[in-house]
Amino acid sequence: MLRVNLFQLKPGMKLAQPVYNADGVLLLAQGTELSKQEIERLLSYGVRWVYIEGYDTPGELIVDIISQQTRTDAIRTLKNLIFAVAKKELVPGGYREILDKVVEKILGELRESRDKCVKMLDIRTLDSYTYAHSVNVCLLSLLVGLAMNFTEEELKVLGLAALLHDIGKMMVPKEILEKEAPLDEEEREEVEQHPYFGYRLVLEDPQMNPVIAEIIYQHHERYDGSGYPRGLKGKEILLPASIVVLPMSMTP
């Protein structure tokens, strides 16, 4: 199976995995032999790459570590949750059961494909959308947790914190988050408050373990004290927070 950039697709190539849009709606089924029209349709939906059967196509040989369905479900769940929390219809724990299931599903599939997990390049080059990024951070954090023999409960706390690490960004004005020009001092300070905003949001929710809130608070701290917002260093940083930091800076 190969992952092929949409611009390299040619009519007649066969999909090795179904293609979904960002909301999890099926666009094309697995096994579809692509026509010119279908390739154009995928382009119009903003799809950037697909999985193609065979090894004789230019592209990147790929072994995904979780199924496309699980990845899409996780991204959709996270997106729905963040929308609902932003509209104040819900607190983060309002999705607790669903979030637990997302982490459990990812964890289950990771356990099955641990040997394939070393293919980090796959993860580095995935979509850079925030939700996809958060799911990748969750995946990589869980891998480290698994390698460190974390207990089931520790893995769940780690997975949830990783999934929600940037939830505080919803409290930062969109104009600042999306600004292309360099941020001024005041704007930078505002952005650097997002770990604290996320911490408050999760802490206020009785369904969430306070450790999750603390990990979120610490996700931009650095071992040498150069991080933010509190400039914690060394052992002041929780182990799970230092795990989340790693994939967060590795993935786009």
The least CB distance from residue 156 to Fe ion, in Å, is: 21
Rule CB under 5 A: say whether 221 interacts with Fe ion.
Answer: no
Rule CB under 5 A: say whether 127 interacts with Fe ion.
Answer: no
The least CB distance from residue 193 to Fe ion, in Å, is: 11
Q: Which residue is nearest to Fe ion (CB)?
A: 166
User: Based on CB atoms, which residue is closest to Fe ion, 1 or 238?
Assistant: 238
Q: Is 169 an annotated catalytic residue?
A: yes
Set 169, 174, 179, 235: catalytic member: 169
The least CB distance from residue 168 to Fe ion, in Å, is: 8
Phi and psi, residue 33, nearest 5° = -90, 115
User: Based on CB atoms, which residue is closest to Fe ion, 71 or 219?
Assistant: 219
User: Based on CB atoms, which residue is closest to Fe ion, 18 or 195?
Assistant: 195
The least CB distance from residue 170 to Fe ion, in Å, is: 12
Rule CB under 5 A: say whether 166 interacts with Fe ion.
Answer: yes
Q: Which among 5-13, 27-35, 158-166, 200-208 is the span making contact with Fe ion, rule CB under 5 A?
A: 158-166
How many positions of this chain bind Fe ion (CB under 5 A)?
1
User: Based on CB atoms, which residue is closest to Fe ion, 119 or 200?
Assistant: 200
Binding residues for Fe ion, rule: CB under 5 A, are 166
Which residues are catalytic, by number?
Answer: 169
